[in-house]
Amino acid sequence: MMNLLEKMATFVCEKFTLWIIIFSLMAFLQPESFKPIASHISYLLGFIMLGMGLTMSLRDFELVFKYPKEVFYGVAFRYCIMPLIGYSVAKLLGLPPALAAGVVLLGACPSGTASNVMSFIAKGDTALSVTVSSVNTILAPVLTPYIFLLLAGTLIPIDVMALFIEIVKIVLLPVAIGVTIRMIAGRTVERLNKIIPAFSVVLIISVVAAVVAVNAGKLAAMGMVVMLAVFFHNSLGLILGYGAARGVGMSEKKSRAITFEIGMENSGLAVALAMAHLDPMAALPAALCSIWQNISGSMLAGYWGAKSEVIDDTTAELAKLES
């Protein structure tokens, strides 16, 4: 039975991008069927973050002490590069206040858990990726609201304390509960670790579909400009993330990990915050980002992974010739 569930979970996770595209289209065409989910988005994200906590342990933070410089740069780049890109893209495209705020909010959120998967596929330093993601997430309640206020405070009214409390409730608390459960019932959690990601994928798809449904009319009118903003935001994040990592002297493996930590967002958190405290239209950039960043991330990770294989094969052949 467990083997069957694990195979189903693997299938769900492997086709994540396809599912999110299919259900987003369904939500766009039949919005009334998905709108009821919108009122539960904060709870859904809480369960997603609980799942993240179940996959974390205190060992994930060991690299903070082993490679403090790399972790510091990863966190600093995350909270400097993406918010500034979001603000610049919003100004460049002349987005309406709600959409502009949504792009800035997306950039001010921590990196998403998909960054760890992309780093693994790209043959980057996955351990560093997990550590940076974990630290980014823990710092989010403080950094996300104040960075958002600094850059978007002139666009729309922002209640920093409300954002702080919301992030603690739907991110920090569920993650802490997940880590605690893993510490208490480690063996049981280990047996479920191949199923938990699929559960999170289903919830993420539900969140994105709900946002698309609520904004179906606005998406039809402004979908192209929002998609353009998301494309520039994500692409510049990946490019500048890699360039910044190499610029401070990180190795290729570490630079690949940091690239995904910078360029891939916790779009679910941005959606939940926008729906709860901003105009629902502000959630559109994050919803579309959930789709696009998994496409762009998979393409880059696949390219780097294949490139590494070519390099490894060449090195092996040279070693054979020398021997």
Looking at the domain assignment, is residue 30 inside a domain?
A: no
- What pLDDT is recorded for position 309? 56
Looking at the domain assignment, is residue 157 inside a domain?
A: yes
Looking at the domain assignment, is residue 19 inside a domain?
A: no
Looking at the domain assignment, is residue 17 inside a domain?
A: no
Per-residue tens of pLDDT for the chain, all 323 residues: 667 777 777 777 777 778 888 888 898 899 899 889 888 888 888 888 888 888 777 777 777 888 889 999 999 999 999 999 999 999 999 999 999 999 999 999 998 778 888 888 888 998 898 889 889 988 999 999 999 999 998 888 888 899 999 899 888 898 889 888 888 887 887 777 778 777 888 888 888 888 888 888 877 777 789 999 999 999 999 999 999 999 999 999 999 999 999 999 888 889 888 888 888 888 889 888 888 888 888 889 888 988 765 455 444 444 444 44
Nearest to 262 by CA among 251, 271, 254, 274: 254
Residues 6+ apart with CB under 8 A from 207: 37, 41, 44, 45, 48, 268, 271, 272, 287, 290
Looking at the domain assignment, is residue 64 inside a domain?
A: yes
- What pLDDT is recorded for position 317? 43
What is the maximum span of the chain, computed from C-alpha positions, in angstroms?
69
Looking at the domain assignment, is residue 13 inside a domain?
A: no
The enclosing domain of 214 has a CATH number of: 1.20.1530.20
Rounded CA-CA distance 93/100 in Å is: 9
Tokens of 16: 């994540």
Whether the Cβ atoms of residue 109 and residue 272 lie closer than 8 Å to each other:
no
In the chain, beta strands by DSSP E: none
Look at the chain and report how many structural domains it folds into: 1
- What pLDDT is recorded for position 197? 76
Whether the Cβ atoms of residue 305 and residue 121 lie closer than 8 Å to each other:
yes
SS (H, E, C) 45-99: HHHHHHHHHHCCCHHHHCHHHHCHHHHHHHHHHHHHHHHHHHHHHHHHHCCCHHH
Looking at the domain assignment, is residue 18 inside a domain?
A: no
Looking at the domain assignment, is residue 290 inside a domain?
A: yes
Rounded CA-CA distance 167/277 in Å is: 12
Q: Name the residue range of residue 63's domain.
A: 40-316
